[in-house]
Amino acid sequence: MPSNSAAWITEAKKVPFEVKEAPLWTPKENEVLVKNHAVAINPVDGSVQQFAYLPLEYPSILGTDVAGEVVAVGPNVTRWKEGDRIIGHGLVLWNLKPEGAAFQNYTIVTTNMASEIPANVAFEDAVVLPLCLSTASTGLFHEDYL
Domains of the chain and any CATH numbers = 4-141 (3.90.180.10)
- Is residue 3 over pLDDT 90? yes
Residue range 51-95, pLDDT digits in tens: 888 888 899 999 999 999 999 999 999 999 999 999 999 989 889
Nearest residue to 35 via CA among 104, 97, 110, 124: 104
Mapped to the 3 state alphabet, what secondary structure does 13-36 carry? CCCCCEEEEECCCCCCCCEEEEEE
Q: Which pLDDT tens digit goes with each residue over 97-126?
A: 999 999 999 999 999 999 999 999 999 999
Nearest to 27 by CA among 111, 108, 103, 94: 108
> 35, 68 in Cβ contact below 8 A?
yes
The rounded Cα 106 to chain-centroid distance in angstroms is 9
